C-alpha cells in the first residue's frame, strides 16, 4: 500500500512539475467505495469529507488513509459532536477510524446520545 | 469593522494568553519575542502567468485590511502590555528579477533567496507586520516570499494569508473569485481564550499528568553565564523516503499518526541524550479552538507538554503505543499554555539553568498547494535542504521540525541558539535521530535499547 495520502500524492505531482496542469485528485479507490446506508452514516461520511477536505468518503475509508492527523481529528470530532449531539473523544476516532467502525461503535452504546441541554452544560471546548 | 474610536484613536485591547506566554521569554534583543529576528518566512512558486507588482501591492493591502493582527502592535511597559490595533497601511513589496536560469536550477535559486530574506529583519513596532519580496524568473514563473513578525502570526496564519492574497489578486485583475470565508479577528480569539477555553477538566488533567514532572533538559555546550549574544542558526537533514514510508506504515498499523511516530523517535533521542526515562518534551498545537478560529490570522498556537514514562518499554512499538496515548490525551486537553504552567509551576525549572535548555518538536502536515482562483498557480516551496548560519529566531534551546516533503523524503530542521549549542552537537543529534528513525521503522519489534 502506498503510504501517501491522496493530498500528498497531488502535492508530489505539483512539486515535480511546477508548470504542468494538475489532474483532478482521486481520493479513494472507486472500486472499494461503499456508500452510506443510514442517515447517521451519511452524516458521518459528509463530516469526514468536510474535516479532511476530500470530495467523497465511503464507509470503509480510514481516517488515516484520508490524510487524518491529530489536528483535523480534533476538528472532525467537534463536527461530529455538534451534528449528532455526542461527546465522542479523539481516542474513539483513532480506535474506530472508518465511518463503518465508528457507526458500529456508536450503535453499541445507545446512552451516547446526549440531549443538547446536557451537551451545553457538560461540554467545554478544549 | 472600524479599528479606531470616534476620535480616530487606535483601539486597545488586552494581550491574548498566547502573547502573555510569549512575553515570558522577553529578554529583549533581536532574538527575543519582540525582536526584529522573531519572524516567520515562507516562499511560494507562482506559475501560469505574469504577476503584476502594482496589483500585488494592492492585494497585500487588502490582506492587511482584512486581518487586524497584521497591524496590531504590542505596546506599553513590560509589566503592563496591551494590543494596539492600527489602521491599515501599505505593505513593503521588494521586486527583483533572477538572472536568466534554466528550469533545473530555479529551485536552488529560490531556496537561496528564501534563506537570504530570512537573514533580514522586521520591526515589531512599525505596522504593518508583513513584508513581501517578488522575484521573477520569467513572465510565467516567479517566487513570492512573505515575512511576518512572529508575534503577529503563526505558521497556519501564513497559509491563510497566502490563500487570501491569491484571492484578492485574482479579484483585482478581474477574475471571478469565491467569497473568502468569514475570518474572526485575533482580538475575538483573545476573548474566547479567556472564556470558552477555560476548562476545569483540562486543568485537572494537566495537574494530574504533570504532577512532579520536570521538562527534560538538554545539556548545552556553552553556559548561559558566558553571556554570548543570542543568535539562531538552522541545521537541516534528510530522512530518506523509504524510512518515511516505513514510519507511516508503522504508524498506521498502530492507528497512530506520523507525528506520534516521529515524537516516539524524538523521545528516544532525548532519552539517549539525557538518560532520563520519564521524558517530558513539548510540541505546539494550533490552539484554534478545534476549527473555530481556523481562518484567523495571529499568534494562536499553544505550547503543550508531552510526558511519557518509557520505563518498561521493550520494543520500538511499545514506545509508539505509549506516545500515542500521551498525544491523544494531551490533544484532547489542549488549553492555553499559561493555564498549563499554572497547574505545574515546577515544570520548566530544569531548562532555565546555566548549562541546560529546552528543545521542542513540531511536525505540521502542510498542503503546499494554495487554493488560488484564476490562472496563477501558487505552490509553497517546501524542499529547503540547506543549513543556515542565521535564521528566524527561536525563543530558547532548539526547535525541531520534521515534515514530509512532496518528494516522499522528510526534511528535518533544527533551529538552535548558537549561543548555547555548537553546530557539531546539533549535527550529531540529527544524525542520531535519523538512525533511531531507521531502526524504529525497519524493526518495530526490536529492542528500543533503553539505557
Distances (CA, A) of B125 to B106, B137, B146, B269: 35, 33, 18, 39
| Strand pairing category for B92-97 and B82-85 | unpaired
Of B132, B155, B187, the position where a domain reaches its end is: B187
Within-domain flag for B60: yes
Q: What is the pLDDT of residues B120-132, one digit of tens each?
A: 999 999 999 999 9
**Distance from C-alpha of A101 to C-alpha of A108, rounded to nearest angstrom:** 11
Are B247 and B438 spatial neighbours (Cβ–Cβ below 8 Å)?
no
Are B378 and B44 spatial neighbours (Cβ–Cβ below 8 Å)?
yes
Please list every residue in chain A whose beta carbon sits closer than 8 Å to the beta carbon of residue B260: 70
Within-domain flag for B372: no
List phi, psi (to 5°) of B417: -75, 120
pLDDT of residue B427: 98
pLDDT of residue B364: 82
Within-domain flag for B304: yes
CA dihedral B413, B417, B419, B424 (to 10 degrees): -20
Cβ <8 Å between A77 and B334: no
Give helix then strand counts, H and E, for chain A: 6, 0
Around Cβ B207, how many Cβ atoms within 10 Å?
A: 13
Q: What is the SS3 assignment for B169?
A: helix
Q: Which residues contact B170 (CB under 8 A, 6 or more apart)?
A: B177, B372, B373, B374, B376
Residue A109: band (very low, low, confident or very high) from pLDDT cuts 50, 70, 90: low
Within-domain flag for B448: no
pLDDT of residue A119: 44
Same domain, B264 and B351: yes
Cβ <8 Å between A74 and B140: no
pLDDT of residue B440: 94
Using the CB atoms, write b or e for B43-63: b if 16+ within 10 Å. Answer: bbbbbbeebeeeebbebbbbb
Same domain, B182 and B206: no
List phi, psi (to 5°) of B306: -120, 110
Grid coordinates representing B448 are 528500543
Within-domain flag for B6: no
Which one of A18, A75, A126 has the shortest CB-CB distance to B199?
A: A126
Q: What is the pLDDT of residues B171-205, one digit of tens each?
A: 999 999 999 999 999 999 999 998 877 789 999 99
Mean pLDDT over all residues of chain B? 95
Around Cβ B178, how many Cβ atoms within 10 Å?
A: 10
pLDDT of residue B451: 83
pLDDT of residue B173: 97
| Strand pairing category for B141-149 and B130-138 | antiparallel
Which one of A11, A95, A125 has the shortest CB-CB distance to B406?
A: A11
Average of per-residue pLDDT across B365-390 = 94
Nearest CA to CA, how far is A72 from chain B (Å)? 8
Which one of B199, B249, B260 has the shortest CB-CB distance to A3?
A: B249
Same domain, B56 and B106: yes
In chain A, what percentage of residues exceed pLDDT 70?
Answer: 60
- Which of B241, B280, B242, B248 is closest to B262 using CA atoms? B248
**Tell me, what DSSP letter sits at residue B149?**
E
Residue B227 predicted with pLDDT over 50: yes
Long-range contacts of B31-34 (CB under 8 A, 24+ apart): B31/B230, B31/B231, B31/B232, B31/B393, B31/B394, B31/B417, B32/B230, B32/B393, B32/B395, B33/B150, B33/B151, B33/B395, B34/B74, B34/B124, B34/B125, B34/B151
Residue A14 forms contact with B (CB below 8 Å): yes
Handedness of CA B120, B18, B379, B108 (dihedral sign): positive
In chain A, what are the domain boundaries?
Answer: 30-122
Average of per-residue pLDDT across B422-428 = 98
Query: Which domain, by its residues, includes B222?
Result: 199-366+382-442
Residue A32 predicted with pLDDT over 80: no
Name the CATH superfamily, with its identifier, for domain A30-122.
Answer: ACP-like (1.10.1200.10)
Within-domain flag for B264: yes
Nearest CA to CA, how far is A110 from chain B (Å)? 23
Please list every residue in chain B whose beta carbon sits closer than 8 Å to the beta carbon of residue A3: 244-245, 248-249, 252
Around Cβ A77, how many Cβ atoms within 10 Å?
A: 25
Grid coordinates representing B347 are 515544570
Map grid coordinates 483601539 to a residue: B11
Q: What is the pLDDT of residues B312-343, one digit of tens each?
A: 999 999 999 999 999 999 998 999 999 999 99
Nearest CA to CA, how far is A112 from chain B (Å)? 18
Residue B2 predicted with pLDDT over 50: no
Distances (CA, A) of B345 to B24, B33, B213, B242: 13, 21, 10, 42
pLDDT of residue A110: 47
Q: What is the ipTM of this complex?
A: 0.77
pLDDT of residue A8: 67
Same domain, B140 and B274: no
pLDDT of residue B435: 97
Q: What is the SS3 assignment for B375?
A: coil
Are B277 and B310 spatial neighbours (Cβ–Cβ below 8 Å)?
yes
DSSP B48-69: SS---HHHHHHHHHHHHHH-GG
Please list every residue in chain A whose beta carbon sits closer than 8 Å to the beta carbon of residue B286: 71
Residue A90 forms contact with B (CB below 8 Å): yes
Residue A4: band (very low, low, confident or very high) from pLDDT cuts 50, 70, 90: low
Q: Which residues contact B59 (CB under 8 A, 6 or more apart)?
A: B165, B168, B169, B172
- Nearest Cα residue in chain A from B253: A64
How far is C-alpha B362 from the geometric centre of its chain's CA atoms?
A: 7
Same domain, B173 and B33: yes
If one counts the domains in chain B, the total is 2
DSSP B91-141: PEEEEEEPPP--HHHHHHHHHHHHHHHHTS---SSSS--EEEEEEEEETTE
Within-domain flag for B180: yes
- Mutation choice for B interface testing from A2, A3, A22, A91 by most B CBs within 10 A: A3
Same domain, B103 and B210: no
| Strand pairing category for B398-404 and B359-362 | parallel
**Distance from C-alpha of B374 to C-alpha of B214, rounded to nearest angstrom:** 52
In chain B, what percentage of residues exceed pLDDT 70?
Answer: 98
pLDDT of residue A74: 86
pLDDT of residue B195: 84
Q: What is the pLDDT of residues B69-84, one digit of tens each?
A: 999 999 998 889 999 9
**Distance from C-alpha of B167 to C-alpha of A22, rounded to nearest angstrom:** 19
Average of per-residue pLDDT across A56-78 = 90
Please list every residue in chain A whose beta carbon sits closer than 8 Å to the beta carbon of residue B367: 7, 11, 53
pLDDT of residue B291: 78
pLDDT of residue A120: 45
Same domain, B148 and B204: no
Same domain, B412 and B438: yes
Nearest CA to CA, how far is A18 from chain B (Å)? 7
Of B187, B217, B250, the position where a domain reaches its end is: B187
| Strand pairing category for B218-219 and B356-357 | antiparallel
Average of per-residue pLDDT across A52-64 = 92
| Strand pairing category for B130-138 and B92-97 | parallel
pLDDT of residue A108: 59
Say which CATH number the domain at B387 has: 3.30.559.30
Same domain, B309 and B415: yes
pLDDT of residue A16: 59
Runs of H (alpha helix) within A1-126: 6-16, 39-52, 70-84, 90-95, 99-107, 116-122
pLDDT of residue A114: 45
Same domain, B62 and B206: no
- Nearest Cα residue in chain B from A16: B407
Say which CATH number the domain at B129 has: 3.30.559.10
Residue B1 predicted with pLDDT over 90: no
Same domain, B203 and B183: no
Grid coordinates representing B99 are 538572472
Report the alpha-carbon angle B53-B45-A18, nearest 5.
130
Of B152, B187, B222, the position where a domain reaches its end is: B187
Query: Which residues on adjacent β-strands are paired with residue B233?
Result: B416
Within-domain flag for B281: yes
pLDDT of residue B366: 79
Amino acid at each position: 500500500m502506498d503510504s501517501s495520502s491522496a493530498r500528498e500524492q497531488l502535492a508530489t505531482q505539483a512539486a515535480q512539475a511546477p508548470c504542468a496542469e494538475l489532474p483532478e485528485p482521486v481520493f479513494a479507490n472507486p472500486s472499494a467505495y461503499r456508500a452510506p446506508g443510514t442517515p447517521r452514516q451519511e452524516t458521518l461520511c459528509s463530516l469526514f469529507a468536510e474535516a479532511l477536505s476530500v470530495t467523497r468518503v465511503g464507509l470503509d475509508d480510514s481516517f488515516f488513509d484520508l490524510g487524518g492527523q491529530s489536528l483535523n481529528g480534533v476538528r472532525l470530532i467537534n463536527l461530529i459532536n455538534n451534528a449528532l449531539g455526542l461527546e465522542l473523544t479523539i481516542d474513539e476516532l483513532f480506535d474506530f477510524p472508518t465511518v463503518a467502525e465508528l457507526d458500529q461503535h456508536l450503535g453499541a452504546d445507545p446512552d451516547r446520545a446526549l440531549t443538547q441541554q446536557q451537551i451545553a452544560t457538560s461540554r467545554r471546548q478544549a | 469593522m472600524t479599528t479606531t474610536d470616534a476620535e480616530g484613536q487606535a483601539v486597545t485591547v488586552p494581550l491574548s494568553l498566547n502573547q502573555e506566554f510569549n512575553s515570558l521569554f522577553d529578554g529583549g534583543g533581536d532574538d527575543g519575542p519582540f525582536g526584529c529576528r522573531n519572524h516567520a518566512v515562507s516562499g511560494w512558486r507562482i506559475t501560469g502567468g505574469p504577476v503584476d507588482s502594482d496589483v500585488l501591492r494592492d492585494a497585500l493591502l487588502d490582506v492587511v485590511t482584512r486581518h487586524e493582527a497584521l497591524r496590531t502592535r504590542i505596546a506599553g511597559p513590560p509589566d503592563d502590555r496591551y494590543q494596539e490595533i492600527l489602521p491599515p497601511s501599505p505593505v513593503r513589496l521588494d521586486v527583483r528579477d533572477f538572472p536568466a536560469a534554466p528550469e533545473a536550477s530555479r529551485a536552488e535559486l529560490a531556496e537561496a533567496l528564501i534563506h537570504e530574506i530570512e537573514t533580514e529583519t522586521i520591526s515589531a513596532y512599525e505596522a504593518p507586520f508583513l513584508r513581501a519580496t517578488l522575484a521573477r524568473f520569467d513572465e510565467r514563473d516567479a517566487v513570492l516570499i512573505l515575512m511576518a513578525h512572529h508575534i503577529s502570526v503563526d505558521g497556519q496564519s501564513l497559509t491563510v494569508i497566502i490563500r487570501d492574497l491569491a484571492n484578492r489578486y485574482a479579484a483585482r485583475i478581474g477574475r471571478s473569485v469565491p467569497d473568502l470565508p468569514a475570518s474572526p479577528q485575533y482580538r475575538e480569539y483573545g476573548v474566547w481564550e479567556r472564556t470558552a477555553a477555560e476548562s476545569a477538566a483540562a486543568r485537572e488533567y494537566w495537574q494530574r499528568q504533570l504532577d512532579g514532572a520536570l521538562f527534560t533538559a538538554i545539556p548545552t555546550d556553552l553556559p548561559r553565564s558566558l553571556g554570548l549574544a543570542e543568535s539562531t542558526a538552522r541545521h537541516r537533514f534528510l530522512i530518506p523516503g523509504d524510512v518515511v514510508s516505513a514510519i507511516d506504515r508503522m504508524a498506521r498499523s498502530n492507528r497512530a499518526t506520523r507525528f506520534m511516530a516521529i515524537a516516539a523517535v524524538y523521545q528516544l533521542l532525548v532519552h539517549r541524550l539525557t538518560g532520563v526515562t520519564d521524558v517530558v518534551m513539548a510540541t505546539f498545537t494550533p490552539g484554534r479552538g478545534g476549527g473555530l478560529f481556523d481562518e484567523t490570522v495571529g499568534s494562536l498556537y499553544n505550547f503543550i507538554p508531552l510526558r511519557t514514562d518509557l520505563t518498561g518499554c521493550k520494543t520500538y512499538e511499545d514506545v509508539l503505543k505509549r506516545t500515542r496515548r500521551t498525544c491523544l490525551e494531551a490533544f484532547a486537553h489542549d488549553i492555553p499554555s499559561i493555564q498549563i504552567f499554572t497547574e505545574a509551576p515546577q515544570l520548566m525549572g530544569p531548562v532555565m539553568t546555566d548549562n541546560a535548555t529546552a528543545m521542542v518538536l513540531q511536525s505540521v502536515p502542510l498542503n503546499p498547494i494554495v487554493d488560488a482562483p484564476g490562472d496563477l498557480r501558487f505552490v509553497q516551496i517546501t524542499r529547503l535542504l540547506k543549513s543556515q548560519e542565521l535564521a528566524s529566531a527561536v525563543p530558547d534551546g532548539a526547535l525541531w521540525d520534521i515534515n514530509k516533503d512532496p518528494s516522499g523524503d522528510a526534511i528535518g530542521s533544527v533551529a538552535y541558539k548558537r549561543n548555547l549549542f555548537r553546530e557539531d552537537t546539533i549535527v550529531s543529534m540529527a544524525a542520531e535521530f535519523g538512525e533511531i528513525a531507521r531502526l524504529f521503522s525497519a524493526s518495530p519489534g526490536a529492542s528500543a535499547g533503553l539505557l
